[in-house]
């Protein structure tokens, strides 16, 4: 490959500022979407295990519908499909206030909520049934049993797969560039536009994603150790 690398394009001119702004948008987008995903995931994951069929049906429908359609399609759905359903005044206001960001956030959050739901359901189903029965036996309602016993235990069990899912969410946030959200990957392309240096810009983006993900994984490894339930999780090493 006869390519002359010129790394200085990454810190000369506006490139550095763009990368930082892109990183900020990626973090805001992923952070908010993560909150939506976790909330939806816990609720629908729990609903899929309750002893009442209508709730299970609703939750199953949500999970299968949202996780089995590509994320890109959801991005277009929330950006192009939803606004026409809103009243004109709200639509115009949204278009003036970063509609693409919110569309991207919902697309990511709702899609990953469906995937998170499966992680949480598997956590709940790995808890012996007797725990739930014991909770109900001491007088808790089903809702209380889930809120006080089942879900807290499940959350402590699912840290490793939930971390994986969260990292996926962070990386998938780059799909939002298709609806013009100026996140990190978008900004690496921006640098390419101004400098015609695509390989350097993409490398910078790769290194930042890698750094972010390794950082999050390291933090989550600590969380996992701190919240592991003694006796329930075999500790390796």
Partner 1 sequence: MRRILAGLLTLGLPLSVVSPALAQQSTLEKIGQSGVLTIGTRTASPPFAFVNKQNEWVGFSIDLVEQGVKPAIERKLGKPIKLEKKESTPPTRIPLLSSNAVDLIAGTMTDTRTRRESVDFSLTFFVTGAQFLVKKGSPIKSIDSIAGKRVAAQQGSTNARIIRERVPTAKLQEFPDQPAAFQALVQGQVDAYTNDGIQLYGLKAKAPKPDDWVVVGDFFSYEPYGMAMRKNDSDFRHAVNVGLMELIESGKYFELYDKWFGPKSETPYPLTAENKRFLIMQVVPK
The binding site for partner 1 (CB under 8 A) comprises 1-3, 76, 79-80, 83-84, 91-92, 95-96, 99-100, 177-180, 182, 186, 189-190, 192-199, 202, 214, 218
Give the residue from 156, 163, 166 showing the smallest Cα distance to 233: 156
In whole angstroms, the minimum distance from the beta carbon of 3 to partner 1 comes to 5
Residue 78 host element (H or E): none
Least distance (Å) between residue 228 CB and partner 1 = 22
The whole-angstrom separation of Cα 15 and Cα 10 is 5
CB nearer to partner 1: pick between 59 and 99: 99
Smallest separation, CB 152 to partner 1 (Å): 31
Helix H or strand E encompassing 126 = none
Compare residues 69 and 198 and give the one whose CB is closer to partner 1: 198
The distance of closest approach from Cβ of residue 192 to partner 1 in the complex, given in angstroms and rounded to an integer, is 5
The three-state secondary structure class of 235 is coil
Identity of the residue, 117 or 200, whose beta carbon is nearer to partner 1 in the bound complex: 200
Radius of gyration in angstroms for the set of CA atoms belonging to the chain, rounded to a whole number: 21
Q: Closer CB to partner 1, residue 67 or residue 77?
A: 77
Q: Which residues contact 196 (CB under 8 A, 6 or more apart)?
A: none
Q: Which is nearer to partner 1, 53 or 97 (CB)?
A: 97
Three-state helix/strand/coil letters over 171-194: HHHHHHHHHCCCCHHHHHHHHHHH
Min dist CB 13 to partner 1, Å, is 11
């Amino acid at each position: 490959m006869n390519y002359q690398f010129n790394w200085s394009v990454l810190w000369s001119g506006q490139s550095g500022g763009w990368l930082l702004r892109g990183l900020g948008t990626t973090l805001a987008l992923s952070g908010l979407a993560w909150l939506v995903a976790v909330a939806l995931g816990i609720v629908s994951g729990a609903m899929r295990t309750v002893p009442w069929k209508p709730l299970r049906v609703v939750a199953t429908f949500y999970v299968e519908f949202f996780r089995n359609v590509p994320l890109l399609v959801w991005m277009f759905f929330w950006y192009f499909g939803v606004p026409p359903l809103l009243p004109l005044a709200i639509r115009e206001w949204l278009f003036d206030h970063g509609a693409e960001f919110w569309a991207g956030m919902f697309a990511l959050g709702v899609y990953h909520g469906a995937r998170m739901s499966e992680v949480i359901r598997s956590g709940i189903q790995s808890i012996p049934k007797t725990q739930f029965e014991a909770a109900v036996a001491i007088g808790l309602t089903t809702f209380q049993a889930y809120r006080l016993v089942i879900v807290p235990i499940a959350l402590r069990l699912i840290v490793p797969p939930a971390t994986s899912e969260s990292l996926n969410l962070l990386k998938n946030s780059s799909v939002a560039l298709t609806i013009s959200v100026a996140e990190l990957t978008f900004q690496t392309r921006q640098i390419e536009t101004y400098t015609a240096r695509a390989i350097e810009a993409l490398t910078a983006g790769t290194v930042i994603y890698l750094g972010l993900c390794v950082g999050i994984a390291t933090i989550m490894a600590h969380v996992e150790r701190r919240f592991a339930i003694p006796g329930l999780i075999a500790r390796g090493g």
